[in-house]
Amino acid sequence: MHGLINHTIQRFVLDSFGGAVWMQVALRADLCGAMGSSDFEPMLTYDDAITPRVVARLSAVVDRPIPDLLEDLGAWLVSNPARDGVRRLLRFGGVDFEEFLHSLNDLPERATLAIEELRLPAMEVTQLDDWRFALTCRGPVSGFGYVMMGIMRVIADDYGTLALLDCKGFTAGEEIIIVTIIDRDFAQGRSFELGASE
Amino acid sequence: MITAAAYEAALDMLCPMHLIVRPCGRIRHVGPTVQKLCHRGTWVGRNFFDQFVIRRPNMACSIAQIRPLAGRKLHLALRDRPELILKGVLVPLPDRSGGQDAETAEDDCVINLSFGISILNGVRAYRLSNADFAPTDLAVEMLYLIEAKSAAMAASRALNQKLEVAKIAAEEQAFTDTLTGLKNRRAMDHVLARLIAGKKGFAVMQIDLDYFKVVNDSMGHAAGDHVLQAAARVMIDTTREIDTIARVGGDEFTVLLPGITDGAHLTEVGNRIIARLERPIDFDGAACRISASIGSIWVDKGQDAVAEDVLSDADAALYRSKHAGRAQHTLHI
């Protein structure tokens, strides 16, 4: 798993639960034993098995179910002002929420364009009817669908769209989320300028 | 036949950064994104060359001058923002009257613009959005890439800095002299402390190369480095596996010999080292000649010793060797 993802998980834990919880998680997941450090470097690549282990230990340490934590992680990733980059990169996907949803088809490819070694799970968006879309994530590490749920909740808000998200059939290797758009112009939404200020 | 309005609407959609200019230079129509470049009012009705400077071909200032370059790349800039270089292409509009004449000097022309590599400055300066680019335009993808790449680069830079700091720290903690592969002073200090604490009897030998400076000065640093490496080899060959050899200065070495039970043996080892070092060392066909002055101290088993004193006693013996004419071994008594 790319370090960027593991590093993001670590930042999320530090931000949401503090350094003591991260130390606990790192200790229980035996990060020092596995990689010689309890910190993830964003630009290195780690063994795929480490990520689920960290998430499972986090769930035990803070006593919260994994899906909840992953959804929070997704929401944190795009709403934390210190990491506005991710939200911005996603907003490049389209001028409205529907266009954004369609742009998720290209998201893994876009990510690879930016960082060659970064491999996101394959994503496929299909439009079911005028208001409903299905996002299918397929990848070796499960749980990515929950992260996408969190991300999409915040981004819908960002576009000023009222949408309902529903997990459907989270099975190994394939996670499907149904997105129902209730109101396209529910709120003003956040402005997005193409050229980020320096 | 197609109306002017239909033309313009199509162009507005396909290339929102275009202008339609009359043969006299008067702007007849501007695309919606060009409209955004204009601070106040509109450029329609004004002269194209009052708003734009043609950079290449050099300072052209009439349509007649640039019309022959139809289809080729133009470099231009806005008069009020000369630092922002634009790319452009001119296409004469075919005669709209439906006549048979092909292009005449009286035709209007379309000049389509692009920010080219200045895209980021352009969208910042005019606060452009996705809607200001044609849906097929790659400008937005380019901006996405610029932003994604600079984020990735920032992360890479942070990692590089971290690694650099770690490397310096590792070097500081290293025990090896990188030139000779021998131990360094730090390592020697550790081993000496252990020998003193062990109280099993040991010896310390301070070796100073003689005439090394002459080799270094007359034959160059490369020869000097080669001699140091050869000298290190000699010391490894003439001592035991369990002895510790450290390069502690430019041409100064310290040998720690554990388990030594009498001083006479030291003189023998010292003389052997000197004899071997005096053999000429070949460097690129030239013979480098050095020797060594050695001072040794033997600490008997069970004896309390202080590292500093042991070393300074060995140094004192070394200086006696130097003063007595170099190339010899002295045992501190």
pLDDT tens-place string over residues B280-292: 999 989 999 999 9
Query: What whole-number distance in Å separates Cα of residue A188 and Cα of residue B273?
Result: 86
* Across A151-155, average pLDDT: 94
Per-residue pLDDT for B98 more than 60? no
Give B280-332 pLDDT, tens digit per residue: 999 989 999 999 999 999 999 888 999 999 999 999 999 999 999 989 999 99
Cβ of A92 and B120 within 8 Å? no
DSSP-based three-state secondary structure for B253 = strand
- Percent of chain B topping pLDDT 90: 59
For chain B, the residue count is 333
In contact, B269 and B242? CB cutoff 8 Å: no
Instruction: State the residue for tokens 């400055």.
Output: B121
Q: Which of B12-16, B73-77, B92-96 has the lowest mean pLDDT?
A: B92-96
pLDDT in the model for residue B96: 55
Distance, in Å, from the CA atom of B211 to the CA atom of B327, rounded to the nearest integer, reads: 10
CB contact under 8 A, B131 and A95: yes
Mean pLDDT of chain B: 89
pLDDT score at A114? 84
Question: Residues of A at the B interface (Cβ-Cβ below 8 Å)?
Answer: 4, 41-44, 85, 88-89, 92, 94-95, 110, 113-115, 192-197
In degrees and rounded to multiples of 5, residue B143 shows phi and psi of: -65, -40
Mean of pLDDT values over B77-103 = 77
Which residues of chain A lie closer than 8 angstroms to B122, CB-CB?
195
Q: Are A94 and B159 an interchain contact pair (Cβ–Cβ within 8 Å)? A: no
pLDDT digits (tens, 9 = 90+) for A24-37: 999 999 998 888 88
Q: Report whether B294 contacts B319 (CB < 8 A).
A: no
Q: Within an 8 Å CB–CB cutoff, is residue B221 touching chain A? A: no
Please name which of A76, A84, A97, A95 lies closest in space to residue A9, comparing C-alpha atoms.
A76
Rounded Cα gap, residues B285 and B231, in angstroms: 18
* ipTM > 0.90 (yes/no): no
Distance CA B21, CA B33 (A): 16
Lowest mean pLDDT: which of A185-194, B272-281, B304-313? Answer: A185-194
Q: CB of B127 within 8 Å of any CB in chain A? A: yes
Helix (H, G, I), strand (E, B) or coil at B200: coil
CB A64 within 8 A of CB A21: no
Q: Cα separation of A149 and A75, whole Å?
A: 8
Looking at B183-289, which runs of residues are DSSP E strands?
A: 202-210, 244-247, 252-258, 281-283, 286-288
Confidence label for B125 from pLDDT (cuts 50, 70 and 90): confident
Contact A171, A135 (CB under 8 A): no
Beta bridge partner(s), residue B246: B183, B254
Look at the block and give the residue holding tokens 């063994």. Answer: A47
**Chain B interface, best mutation among A78, A116, A159, A194, by max B CB count within 10 A:** A194
The pLDDT of residue B17: 96
Q: What angle do CA B110, B115, B119 make, to 5 degrees?
A: 155
DSSP per-residue string spanning A93-131 = T-SSHHHHHHHGGGHHHHHHHHSTT--PPEEEEEE-SSS
Torsion of CA B257, B262, B263, B268, to 10 degrees: -80
Q: Do B147 and A89 touch (CB under 8 A)?
A: yes
Which residues on A lie below 8 Å from B84 (Cβ)? Answer: none
Domains of chain B and any CATH numbers: 4-145 (3.30.450.260), 185-331 (3.30.70.270)
- Residues across chain A: 198
* Token representation of residue B141: 């993808």
Q: Does residue B20 contact residue B108 with C-beta atoms inside 8 Å?
A: yes
For B148, which residue in chain A has the nearest alpha carbon? Answer: A114
Beta-carbon contacts of residue B34 (< 8 Å; ≥ 6 apart):
B16, B17, B18, B19, B43, B113
Of all helices (H) and strands (E), which one includes residue A18?
Answer: none
Query: Could you identify the residue written with the tokens 């009222």?
Result: A162
Our CA-based measurement puts residue A191 at a distance from the nearest CA of chain B, in whole angstroms, of: 10
Residue ranges of E strands in chain B: 18-21, 27-30, 52-56, 73-78, 81-92, 109-114, 202-210, 244-247, 252-258, 281-283, 286-288, 291-299, 329-331
**Cis peptide upstream of residue B57 (ω within 30 degrees of 0):** yes
